[in-house]
Amino acid sequence: MSKTIIAGPCSVESRQQLQSVVEILCRVPHVKLIRGGVWKPRTRPGGFEGLGEPALRWMKELSESGLRMADGSPVRFCCEVARPEHVELCSQYSIRDIWLGARTTANPFMVEELCAALRGSGMNVMVKNPLNPDVRLWLGAIERLQQCGITVSAVIHRGFSMYDNHGYRNDPLWEVPMEMRRLLPDMPILCDPSHIAGSSALVPAVARAAMQLAFDGLMVEVHPSPETALTDAGQQITPEAMQSIVHTLADTAEGVPSDQMSAELTMLRDNIDDVDRQLLQLLEKRMQCSRQIAVIKRQAGLAVYQSERWAEVLADRLRQAEALGLDTAFTKDLLEKIHGESVRIQMD
Ligand code: PEP
Ligand code: MN
């Protein structure tokens, strides 16, 4: 498995807490970096906001203590920075890997300030997605950093804060990181299953989904006793649970198909290409009908949008979809898109 795994506590809470988690994680294959929150963005005031400098000092001491990562290199830490002073302190304590959190990525002013502080530092910067599902805002933060000559070593998908998060803490909306993959095909994309899941029980399933979607690695929150954690207690997992995730992921989505499987894949993909061609031709035919209908409605003085007709069409198509075994929510989304385009054409 050629994946990059970053693991460690949401927040550094004490030297003992950090050391006990590092001593296990540094022996887990594929763990390349240990994360540890030093300054914590809190939704509401009054909570634990991170220890600041002492946390950095313990990281430096541990990385100079002779402890080694599984690949033999000295233990390496990373943390989130949100202000220019954080960058300055990280560099004083020899932290070379940092990330921009979701709240920072969402704010171009803050990104600009960090760009100025990071210029010429040689640090590797990872960029979490913004809180809202705006791929251009995410891309904008990456571009701002790159324009200042800063190395963006990876982006991190941590889900999105939506009105309805569909059972997650942050809705994964996998299509957004997939779009990022299309826009920046060479950029490593890691998944943060902890902030997507919001509960430790759901973390392994989200991590598995990320592997199936060909993510390049994971950033996971790991705490020696999650139930006592000062931040994100519900979603942190034990070092042992982390070991078992790495173990089960080792054989996920890294296979090489046999010749027969490759031949079958090619045939099925040809079929998909053909079906897509037919779908597009049918859509074009449907839009032609809409254009002709528009002419009649205009002549008859009828409104473009006929709510009763649309309600009937939708109900009928959903019945058909159900009989065919198609997912209802998916079919509804698709039909709404098609109908929206039909209305747009008629308004032209
Ligand atoms: C974190 O990684 O602990 C964190 C605060 O993450 P995010 O920026 O994704 O909310
Ligand atoms: Mn956290």
Mean pLDDT for the stretch of residues 124-129: 98
- Quick one: pLDDT at residue 286? 97
Radius of gyration of the chain (CA): 25
How many Å lie between the centroid of ligand 1 and the Cα of residue 104?
10
Residue 17 is encoded by which pair of tokens? 């807490």
**How confident is the model over 213-234, as pLDDT tens digits?**
999 999 999 999 999 999 999 9
Q: Are 187 and 162 in contact (CB under 8 A)?
A: no
DSSP state letters, 325-340: T--HHHHHHHHHHHHH
Separation CA 309–CA 77 (nearest Å): 60
| Closest residue CA from atom 6 of ligand 1 | 101
SS3 at position 308: helix
Please state the length of the chain. Answer: 348
Q: For residues 40 and 55, give the distance between their C-alpha atoms in angstroms, rounded to a whole number.
A: 12
pLDDT digits (tens, 9 = 90+) for 6-33: 999 999 999 999 999 999 999 999 999 9
At 253 the pLDDT is 64
> Over 90: is that where the pLDDT of 348 sits?
no
CA nearest neighbour of 196 among 187, 188, 205: 205
Mean pLDDT of 99-114: 98
Task: Answer whether residue 112 shows pLDDT above 80.
Answer: yes
CB 117 within 8 A of CB 98: no
Query: What's the rounded Cα separation, in Å, for the pair 199 and 227?
Result: 11
CB 197 within 8 A of CB 203: yes
CA of 170 to the centre of ligand 1 (A): 11
Decide whether any atom of ligand 1 lies within 6 Å of the 128 Cβ.
yes
181 lines ligand 1 (CB under 6 A): no
Percent of the chain with pLDDT over 90: 95
Dump the DSSP string for 212-280.
HTT-SEEEEEB-SSGGG-SS-TTT-B-HHHHHHHHHHHTTSS-----HHHHHHHHHHHHHHHHHHHHHH
Residue 1 has pLDDT above 70, yes or no: no
pLDDT for the residue numbered 251: 67
Residue of 158, 171, 191 with the most ligand 1 atoms within 8 Å of its CB, for mutation: 158
- Check residue 3 and report its DSSP letter: -
Place of tokens 């100079």: 64
Q: How far is the CA of 221 from the centre of ligand 2 (A)?
A: 7
**Residue burial 298-309, b: 16+ Cβ < 10 Å; e: rest:** eeeeeebeeeee
C-beta of 223 in contact with ligand 1 (< 6 A): no
Atom number of ligand 1 nearest to Cα 41: 5
Backbone angles phi, psi at 307, to 5 degrees: -65, -35
CB 121 within 8 A of CB 145: no
Residue 188 is predicted with a pLDDT of 98
What three-state secondary structure class fits 5? strand
Give residue 76's pLDDT: 97
DSSP 2: -
Which residues face 97 on adjacent strands? Answer: 78, 124
